A and B are shown apart, each in its own frame.
Chain A
Amino acid sequence: QLQLQESGSGLVKPSQTLSLTCAVSGGSISSGGYSWSWIRQPPGKGLEWIGYIYHSGSTYYNPSLKSRVTISVDRSKNQFSLKLSSVTAADTAVYYCARGPGGYGQGWFDPWGQGTLVTVSS
Protein backbone atom coordinates (compact mmCIF):
# COMPACT_ATOMS: atom_id res chain seq x y z
CA GLN A 1 0.00 0.00 0.00
CA LEU A 2 1.50 3.28 -1.10
CA GLN A 3 2.05 5.79 1.69
CA LEU A 4 3.38 9.34 1.70
CA GLN A 5 4.80 11.24 4.67
CA GLU A 6 5.73 14.91 4.78
CA SER A 7 8.55 16.25 6.93
CA GLY A 8 10.32 19.54 7.37
CA SER A 9 10.42 22.74 9.33
CA GLY A 10 7.15 23.72 10.95
CA LEU A 11 8.20 27.33 11.57
CA VAL A 12 9.81 29.58 8.99
CA LYS A 13 10.74 33.24 9.32
CA PRO A 14 9.39 35.77 6.82
CA SER A 15 11.58 36.18 3.70
CA GLN A 16 13.24 32.80 4.29
CA THR A 17 12.79 29.55 2.35
CA LEU A 18 10.31 26.85 3.30
CA SER A 19 11.65 23.33 2.75
CA LEU A 20 9.64 20.12 2.93
CA THR A 21 10.24 16.52 1.93
CA CYS A 22 7.76 13.79 1.07
CA ALA A 23 8.93 10.23 1.68
CA VAL A 24 7.21 7.58 -0.42
CA SER A 25 6.88 4.02 0.89
CA GLY A 26 5.17 0.93 -0.41
CA GLY A 27 6.09 1.71 -4.00
CA SER A 28 8.72 3.34 -6.17
CA ILE A 29 8.64 7.01 -7.04
CA SER A 30 10.23 5.99 -10.33
CA SER A 31 7.32 3.79 -11.43
CA GLY A 32 6.10 5.13 -14.69
CA GLY A 33 2.99 7.08 -15.42
CA TYR A 34 2.62 9.13 -12.27
CA SER A 35 3.63 12.58 -11.17
CA TRP A 36 4.05 13.69 -7.58
CA SER A 37 2.40 16.86 -6.33
CA TRP A 38 2.42 19.41 -3.55
CA ILE A 39 -0.87 20.96 -2.45
CA ARG A 40 -1.46 23.44 0.35
CA GLN A 41 -4.35 24.59 2.49
CA PRO A 42 -4.28 27.78 4.57
CA PRO A 43 -6.02 27.41 7.93
CA GLY A 44 -9.78 27.33 7.45
CA LYS A 45 -9.50 27.75 3.68
CA GLY A 46 -9.54 25.67 0.50
CA LEU A 47 -6.97 23.67 -1.44
CA GLU A 48 -4.34 25.16 -3.75
CA TRP A 49 -2.24 23.00 -6.06
CA ILE A 50 1.41 24.09 -6.01
CA GLY A 51 2.86 21.88 -8.73
CA TYR A 52 4.15 18.46 -9.70
CA ILE A 53 7.26 16.57 -10.70
CA TYR A 54 7.55 13.42 -12.80
CA HIS A 55 10.08 10.72 -12.05
CA SER A 56 11.97 11.98 -15.09
CA GLY A 57 12.43 15.29 -13.30
CA SER A 58 10.10 17.32 -15.48
CA THR A 59 8.05 19.80 -13.50
CA TYR A 60 5.04 22.10 -13.72
CA TYR A 61 4.40 24.90 -11.25
CA ASN A 62 1.23 26.83 -10.62
CA PRO A 63 1.80 30.24 -12.22
CA SER A 64 0.57 31.88 -9.01
CA LEU A 65 3.69 30.57 -7.21
CA LYS A 66 6.03 29.76 -10.09
CA SER A 67 8.64 32.42 -9.34
CA ARG A 68 9.18 31.08 -5.81
CA VAL A 69 8.73 27.29 -6.15
CA THR A 70 11.17 24.48 -6.79
CA ILE A 71 10.15 20.81 -6.69
CA SER A 72 12.85 18.18 -6.94
CA VAL A 73 13.08 14.39 -6.74
CA ASP A 74 15.62 12.08 -5.11
CA ARG A 75 15.08 8.64 -6.63
CA SER A 76 17.75 7.05 -4.44
CA LYS A 77 15.80 8.01 -1.32
CA ASN A 78 12.38 7.52 -2.93
CA GLN A 79 11.32 11.03 -1.99
CA PHE A 80 10.53 14.41 -3.49
CA SER A 81 10.88 17.88 -2.06
CA LEU A 82 9.40 21.37 -2.09
CA LYS A 83 11.20 24.66 -1.67
CA LEU A 84 9.24 27.91 -1.48
CA SER A 85 11.32 31.06 -1.24
CA SER A 86 10.64 34.54 0.13
CA VAL A 87 7.79 33.34 2.30
CA THR A 88 5.26 35.63 3.97
CA ALA A 89 2.44 35.05 6.44
CA ALA A 90 0.21 34.25 3.46
CA ASP A 91 2.23 31.05 2.96
CA THR A 92 1.15 29.71 6.35
CA ALA A 93 -0.72 26.52 5.53
CA VAL A 94 -0.94 22.78 5.87
CA TYR A 95 1.20 21.38 3.08
CA TYR A 96 0.26 18.03 1.57
CA CYS A 97 2.14 15.79 -0.80
CA ALA A 98 0.20 13.44 -3.05
CA ARG A 99 0.61 11.08 -5.97
CA GLY A 100 -0.83 12.44 -9.16
CA PRO A 101 -1.86 13.44 -11.62
CA GLY A 102 -1.12 10.31 -13.64
CA GLY A 103 0.11 10.42 -17.17
CA TYR A 104 -2.65 8.39 -18.75
CA GLY A 105 -5.65 10.60 -18.12
CA GLN A 106 -5.61 9.89 -14.41
CA GLY A 107 -5.91 13.45 -13.23
CA TRP A 108 -6.58 12.86 -9.57
CA PHE A 109 -4.56 12.90 -6.37
CA ASP A 110 -4.40 9.60 -4.52
CA PRO A 111 -3.05 8.85 -2.01
CA TRP A 112 -2.20 11.91 0.08
CA GLY A 113 0.21 12.39 2.91
CA GLN A 114 -1.21 13.37 6.29
CA GLY A 115 -0.10 16.98 5.85
CA THR A 116 2.26 19.19 7.79
CA LEU A 117 1.53 22.65 9.16
CA VAL A 118 4.04 25.32 8.25
CA THR A 119 3.74 28.63 10.05
CA VAL A 120 5.51 31.74 8.78
CA SER A 121 6.31 33.99 11.69
CA SER A 122 9.22 35.90 13.17
Chain B
Amino acid sequence: DIQMTQSPSSLSASVGDRVTITCQASQDISNYLNWYQQKPGKAPKLLIYDASNLETGVPSRFSGSGSGTDFTFTISSLQPEDIATYYCQQYDNLPLSFGPGTKVDIK
Protein backbone atom coordinates (compact mmCIF):
# COMPACT_ATOMS: atom_id res chain seq x y z
CA ASP B 1 0.00 0.00 0.00
CA ILE B 2 1.12 3.56 -0.68
CA GLN B 3 1.47 5.70 2.44
CA MET B 4 0.86 9.43 2.20
CA THR B 5 2.31 11.95 4.62
CA GLN B 6 1.61 15.67 4.90
CA SER B 7 3.38 18.52 6.62
CA PRO B 8 2.73 20.45 8.62
CA SER B 9 -0.19 18.83 10.42
CA SER B 10 -1.50 22.29 11.22
CA LEU B 11 -0.59 25.89 10.57
CA SER B 12 -1.73 29.34 11.48
CA ALA B 13 -1.28 32.23 9.07
CA SER B 14 -2.50 35.77 8.53
CA VAL B 15 -4.97 36.88 5.88
CA GLY B 16 -3.02 37.57 2.70
CA ASP B 17 -0.16 35.22 3.58
CA ARG B 18 1.17 32.61 1.20
CA VAL B 19 0.51 29.13 2.59
CA THR B 20 2.33 25.99 1.47
CA ILE B 21 1.52 22.38 2.35
CA THR B 22 3.62 19.42 1.30
CA CYS B 23 2.52 15.86 0.61
CA GLN B 24 4.89 12.95 0.21
CA ALA B 25 4.14 9.50 -1.16
CA SER B 26 5.96 6.36 -0.01
CA GLN B 27 6.71 5.49 -3.65
CA ASP B 28 6.62 7.11 -7.06
CA ILE B 29 3.03 8.00 -7.99
CA SER B 30 3.81 10.09 -11.08
CA ASN B 31 1.26 12.93 -11.04
CA TYR B 32 -1.63 10.81 -9.73
CA LEU B 33 -2.28 13.12 -6.83
CA ASN B 34 -5.36 15.15 -5.89
CA TRP B 35 -6.06 17.80 -3.25
CA TYR B 36 -9.28 18.34 -1.29
CA GLN B 37 -10.57 21.02 1.06
CA GLN B 38 -12.79 20.05 3.97
CA LYS B 39 -14.55 22.70 6.01
CA PRO B 40 -15.90 21.77 9.47
CA GLY B 41 -19.01 19.63 9.27
CA LYS B 42 -18.86 19.42 5.49
CA ALA B 43 -17.82 16.86 2.91
CA PRO B 44 -14.44 17.23 1.22
CA LYS B 45 -14.36 19.23 -1.99
CA LEU B 46 -12.02 18.54 -4.90
CA LEU B 47 -9.68 21.49 -5.56
CA ILE B 48 -6.77 20.13 -7.61
CA TYR B 49 -6.52 16.97 -9.71
CA ASP B 50 -3.53 15.33 -11.35
CA ALA B 51 -1.19 17.31 -9.09
CA SER B 52 -1.59 20.67 -10.78
CA ASN B 53 -4.95 21.01 -12.53
CA LEU B 54 -7.43 23.40 -10.96
CA GLU B 55 -10.96 22.06 -10.73
CA THR B 56 -13.54 24.21 -12.51
CA GLY B 57 -14.82 27.03 -10.31
CA VAL B 58 -11.96 26.86 -7.80
CA PRO B 59 -10.28 30.24 -7.17
CA SER B 60 -6.94 30.73 -8.85
CA ARG B 61 -5.19 31.45 -5.53
CA PHE B 62 -5.08 27.68 -5.09
CA SER B 63 -2.39 25.77 -6.96
CA GLY B 64 -0.53 22.48 -6.90
CA SER B 65 2.74 21.14 -8.20
CA GLY B 66 5.03 18.17 -8.05
CA SER B 67 5.48 14.67 -9.39
CA GLY B 68 6.99 11.41 -8.30
CA THR B 69 6.95 11.37 -4.50
CA ASP B 70 6.90 15.04 -3.53
CA PHE B 71 4.01 17.44 -4.01
CA THR B 72 3.14 20.96 -2.94
CA PHE B 73 -0.18 22.70 -2.44
CA THR B 74 -0.20 26.50 -2.23
CA ILE B 75 -2.68 29.19 -1.32
CA SER B 76 -1.14 32.36 -2.74
CA SER B 77 -3.09 34.76 -0.53
CA LEU B 78 -4.94 33.21 2.40
CA GLN B 79 -8.56 34.31 2.77
CA PRO B 80 -10.84 33.84 5.79
CA GLU B 81 -13.00 31.39 3.84
CA ASP B 82 -9.96 29.13 3.31
CA ILE B 83 -10.07 27.96 6.93
CA ALA B 84 -10.29 24.20 6.49
CA THR B 85 -8.39 20.95 6.55
CA TYR B 86 -6.62 20.01 3.32
CA TYR B 87 -6.01 16.43 2.23
CA CYS B 88 -3.92 14.92 -0.54
CA GLN B 89 -5.00 11.64 -2.17
CA GLN B 90 -3.12 9.26 -4.46
CA TYR B 91 -4.60 7.09 -7.14
CA ASP B 92 -1.53 5.46 -8.62
CA ASN B 93 -2.23 2.18 -6.83
CA LEU B 94 -5.10 0.46 -5.10
CA PRO B 95 -6.09 0.85 -2.34
CA LEU B 96 -6.61 4.57 -2.88
CA SER B 97 -5.29 6.51 0.08
CA PHE B 98 -5.34 9.96 1.64
CA GLY B 99 -2.80 11.95 3.56
CA PRO B 100 -3.54 12.67 7.22
CA GLY B 101 -4.57 16.25 6.52
CA THR B 102 -3.30 19.75 7.25
CA LYS B 103 -5.48 22.05 9.31
CA VAL B 104 -5.23 25.71 8.29
CA ASP B 105 -6.51 28.53 10.43
CA ILE B 106 -6.16 32.29 10.73
CA LYS B 107 -3.61 33.82 13.07
- A112 adjacent to B45 (CB under 8 Å): yes
Binding site secondary structure of chain B: loop
The A contact surface, by secondary structure, is loop
Inter-chain contact count A-B, CB under 8 Å?
Answer: 53
Closest-CB distance, B10 to chain A (whole angstroms): 13
Given A47-B87, A96-B43, A115-B43: A110 touches B95 (CB 8 Å cut-off): no
Instruction: Please encode chain B, from 64 to 95, with 1 for each CB lying within 8 Å of some chain A CB and 0 for all others.
Output: 00000000000000000000000101011011
Interface pair A101/B95, CB less than 8 Å apart? no
| Interface range, B side | 20 to 34
Does chain B have a CB within 8 A of A64?
A: yes
**B-to-A contact residues, CB < 8 Å:** 1, 32, 34, 36, 42-46, 49, 55, 87, 89, 91-92, 94-101
